[in-house]
């Protein structure tokens, strides 16, 4: 099996798992004919300046996934200390594996194959709840956020409010209803009924060879849900090593701009 085939199989597995167990405050749109590019929309978490917002983003995966991280970029305008001006999101688990002495990140804080789309999105939601100010991607947004926290200025709130209002117009165009309360924000999960396996089922080679048992990590004993749960906390070590906020757009598309 080629690397691209393995990545495709892994992404389809994650997509189906997220359909079965959605993430609160997130909409995921995946075209199976273009499995390496996912459309994401995140609702602003309740009780934050981003509440009432509808922020669209893209996840672009490499052929080497899950051994290398995807790139995540907001396509909606969002004023945030951990988002570069071109929309790229700066969180540790989206940084390639290895050691970077300049960033100060520990290897275990960076990407590893046990991370998933779920841990990425939970990490991004985490910084919407509480930006990481220790190593900002957008220095101006970071300064305005710190002044807001100290009660010195409401510029941060005003800028975020402007982005939220612009995103609400976009939600209306998309026919999306934005949650207006915590109860609306939290997805009501239905219990999943697991099939009862018989002895004959357990002997069935199709069960033994299912996607759940596929080993994506050549050096480990499998990439299963327990491994993801054990590393869920790593998904929240975010936004380190993002430099001084300068970024080379590299020809990337600018975030969508809304009219005032």
Note the pLDDT of residue 135: 84
Question: In the CATH hierarchy, which fold is given to the domain comprising 3-184+195-236?
Answer: Ubiquitin Conjugating Enzyme (3.10.110)
CB distance 25 to 46 below 8 Å: no
Say whether 213 sits in a helix, a strand or coil: helix
How far is it, in rounded angstroms, from Cα 250 to Cα 51? Answer: 31
Residues assigned a catalytic role: 90
Residue 34, helix vs strand vs coil: helix
Nearest to 130 by CA among 91, 99, 75, 97: 91
Residue 120's φ and ψ, nearest 5 degrees, are: -65, -50
Block means of pLDDT (10 residues each) for the chain, 260 residues, are: 89 96 96 95 97 98 96 98 97 80 64 95 97 94 98 97 98 96 79 50 44 40 40 42 49 46
Task: Give pLDDT, residue 1.
Answer: 67
Going from N- to C-terminal start, the domains of the chain cover 3-184+195-236
Neighbours of 10 (CB within 10 A): 21
List of E strands, the chain: 26-30, 37-43, 54-60, 71-74
pLDDT the model gives residue 245: 43
Determine the Cα–Cα distance for residues 137 and 242; give it in Å rounded to an integer.
5
- Cβ(215)–Cβ(222) below 8 Å: yes
pLDDT of residue 2: 76
Helices within the chain (DSSP H only): 3-20, 117-129, 139-149, 155-174, 182-185, 199-203, 205-208, 225-230
């Amino acid at each position: 099996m080629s690397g691209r085939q393995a990545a495709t199989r892994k992404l389809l597995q994650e997509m189906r798992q997220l359909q079965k167990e959605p993430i609160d405050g997130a909409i995921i749109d995946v075209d199976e004919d273009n499995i390496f590019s996912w459309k994401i929309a995140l609702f602003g978490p309740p009780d934050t300046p981003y509440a009432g917002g509808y922020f669209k983003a893209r996840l672009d995966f490499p052929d080497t996934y899950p051994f290398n991280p995807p790139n995540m970029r907001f396509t909606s305008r969002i004023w945030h200390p951990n988002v570069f001006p071109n929309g790229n999101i700066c969180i540790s688990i989206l940084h390639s594996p290895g050691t970077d002495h300049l960033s100060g990140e520990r290897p275990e804080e960076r990407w590893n194959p046990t991370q998933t789309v779920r841990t990425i999105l939970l990490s991004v939601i985490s910084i919407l709840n509480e930006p990481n100010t220790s190593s900002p991607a957008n220095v101006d947004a970071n300064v305005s956020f710190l002044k807001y926290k100290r009660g010195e200025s409401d510029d941060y709130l005003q800028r975020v409010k402007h982005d939220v209002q612009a995103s609400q117009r976009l939600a209306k165009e998309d026919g999306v209803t934005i949650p207006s309360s915590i109860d609306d924000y939290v997805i009501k999960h239905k219990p999943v009924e697991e099939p009862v396996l018989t002895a004959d089922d357990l002997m069935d080679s199709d069960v033994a060879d299912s996607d759940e048992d596929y080993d994506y990590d050549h050096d480990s004993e499998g990439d299963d849900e327990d491994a993801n749960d054990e590393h869920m906390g790593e998904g929240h070590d975010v936004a380190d090593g993002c430099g001084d906020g300068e970024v080379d757009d590299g020809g990337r598309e600018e975030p969508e701009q809304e009219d005032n």
